[in-house]
A and B are shown apart, each in its own frame.
Chain A
Amino acid sequence: MTIEAIQEELIDEFSMFDDWMQRYEYMIELGRSLPLIDENLKTDDKLIKGCQSKVWLNSEMKNGKIIFTADSDAIITKGIIAVLVRVFSNQKPQAILDANTDFIDEIGLKEHLSPTRANGLVSMIKQMKMYALAYQTQLNN
């Protein structure tokens, strides 16, 4: 699936909810379903700065696509990562770099998140794009 298609799918899913509580409950559920990251990968150099809770993000390249795995010690944060992993993992670096992130507003994440959390969200996306840029640069060389 393309990034756009996955984003559309998420917008559809989130549009079913009437209020913030259902939305958060779904986020928490997504957080719980996030595949566990290898404990050995939860090292300090994989930590993303700018989040109040700890967020580890790992990336590897397989068959020209980036696989992201991630974890957090806070469950709502984990839900946010689950959304991002679903959108950006298993995609080509250039596609990740080209992707826009307007869907975050549309699924009601950004407006409902506190500024510190939103910063965490922004940092997570930035980190994912940084990895994509690094892999893309390698491919170009």
Chain B
Amino acid sequence: MPFNIQKIRKDFPILSRKVNGYPLVYLDNAATSQKPQQVIDCIVDYYSNYNANIHRGVHTLSQEATDAYESARKKIQTHFNAKEAYEIIFTAGTTHGINLVANGFSEILKKGDEIMVSAMEHHSNIVPWQMLCEKTGAILKVIPMNEEGVLVFSEYEKLLSEKTKLVFVNHISNALGTINPIAEIIEKAHEVGAAVLIDGAQSCSHIKPDFQKLDVDFYVTSAHKMCGPTGIGILYMKEEWGNKLPPYQGGGEMIAEVTFEKTTYATLPHKFEAGTPNICGGIAFGAAIDYLNSIGFEAIAMHENELLKYATEKLLEIEGLKIYGTGQDKTSVVSFNIEGIHPYDIGTIVDKLGIAVRTGHHCAQPIMDFYKIPGTVRASFAFYNTLGEVDALVAAVKKAKMMLS
């Protein structure tokens, strides 16, 4: 299908609204993406036509809902090329998936074991691991990054040892847009017998990771950054890990047999899916993946790279503007500041002009500390953004600069 931006934009009802009297220019896609009509329709269809609890009902509605939910799981499995559908665990989102794995490792790690995080993580990929270290006596090591916002691979190799049990790195940095070399990171970790968890919250809307090819142990992501609804995500976990890790929460769905003496747990994936899940969310996640695939990830990458290149060029023409995250491999995220102006002031003025960007530390305070800045202005582009919207951003930033300096 040829990439037709105007046709794509029509799929997103929200893109035609106005904000503060101006047409909305939505450039906060790294926080959450907008939803196409196809996904909205899927949600409405579920609640209008076959809402029922799944996995236990014999009635028709329950079977329809179960089929739809499980076929969404299959769809996700196929999309990411997982070996088995039951290696895809539905979660409430990325953070939930990370916590589930961290909880499991609390029973595996011993005092003195090492786990490793990168210097460009989001808080949700730092805090659960710190909590895990407190609980187990394991030691947290940090892979450093350089001025360009790129991980120093040689330092990573030096930090690895037979003490390393787990490495967790984001696929793409939310604050900088840097794409990390996860295939190499996984390969090196496996050489010392360490498992790897990849935080894919930022990546799956831009690229299509292949779980088997990557040989990754755990991969987490959220639907809401991929045109799906909030409150649903997945944890991919290799079957061997699924069998090794203890359940996270007790409750319905996750059991095989319960007596007051002993409960046996269900098999994968249900072992990790206690309680009634987000049924509609799972089904709509499937619809979102269908939608993204109908556009095609190659076409998405091509268009987003064009946006990134154009935005970078145009923004750098503004005197005193500095971009953070200047590595070669990056997605369509531009994090910047203008000398002498607080990012918050810029964000406020451009919002008045209908442009949605993010300001602040992007829940990645260690990165801001690294650059010794209070935060940045972050414009993050999706495939439905246009070059015209980049022009609108640049014009708004220039106006803000004029008012503020």
- Report A's interface with B, CB cutoff 8 A: 20-21, 24-25, 28, 52-54, 73-77, 112-114, 117
Contact = CB atoms under 8 A, between A and B. Distances in A.
A54 B374 contact: yes
Contacts of A77: 342, 344-345
Is the interface on chain B under 10, 10 to 19, 20 to 34, or 35 or more residues? 10 to 19
Contacts of B181: none
Contacts of A114: 348, 351
A20 B20 contact: yes
Given A54-B374, A75-B342, A28 B404 contact: yes
A113 B403 CA distance: 17
Given A21-B403, A24-B403, A53-B342, A76 B348 contact: yes
A24 B351 CA distance: 12
Contacts of A20: 20, 352
A101 to B, nearest CB: 20
A113 B375 CA distance: 19
11 contacts: A24-B349, A24-B403, A28-B403, A28-B404, A52-B359, A53-B342, A73-B342, A76-B345, A76-B348, A77-B344, A114-B351
A121 to B, nearest CB: 12
A28 B20 CA distance: 20
Contacts of B344: 52-53, 74, 76-77, 117
Nearest to A75: B345
A73 B403 contact: no
A113 B20 CA distance: 11
A73 B349 contact: no
A117 B360 CA distance: 12
Given A73-B374, A74-B345, A114-B351, A52 B403 contact: no
A31 to B, nearest CB: 9
Contacts of B375: 52
Contact of A75 (B20, B374, B404): B404
Given A73-B374, A77-B345, 20 more contacts: A20-B20, A21-B352, A25-B403, A28-B403, A28-B404, A52-B359, A52-B360, A53-B344, A54-B374, A73-B342, A74-B342, A74-B344, A75-B341, A75-B342, A75-B345, A75-B404, A76-B344, A76-B345, A112-B352, A114-B351
A73 to B, nearest CB: 6
Nearest to B341: A75
5 smallest CB-CB distances across A and B, nearest first, come from A74-B342, A74-B344, A53-B344, A76-B345, A74-B345
Contacts of A21: 352, 403
A54 B344 CA distance: 10
A115 to B, nearest CB: 11
Nearest to B360: A52
Interface in B308-361: 341-342, 344-345, 348-349, 351-352, 359-360
Most chain A Cβ neighbours within 10 Å, of B20, B342, B351: B342
Nearest to B348: A76
Contacts of A52: 344, 359-360, 375
A73 B375 CA distance: 12
Contacts of B352: 20-21, 24, 112
Contacts of A117: 344, 348
Nearest to B20: A20
Contacts of B349: 24, 76
Interface in B348-381: 348-349, 351-352, 359-360, 374-375
A73 B359 CA distance: 14
Nearest to B352: A20
Contacts of A73: 342, 374
B19 to A, nearest CB: 11
Contacts of A25: 403
Contacts of A28: 403-404
A123 to B, nearest CB: 15
Contacts of A74: 342, 344-345
Contacts of B345: 53, 74-77
Interface string B363-405: 0000000000011000000000000000000000000000110
A28 to B, nearest CB: 6
B335 to A, nearest CB: 16
Most chain B Cβ neighbours within 10 Å, of A28, A54, A75, A113: A75
Nearest to A73: B342
Contacts of A54: 374
Contacts of B374: 53-54, 73
Nearest to A72: B342
A74 B344 CA distance: 7
A52 B352 CA distance: 17
Contacts of B348: 24, 76, 113-114, 117
A42 to B, nearest CB: 14
A76 to B, nearest CB: 5
A25 B206 CA distance: 39
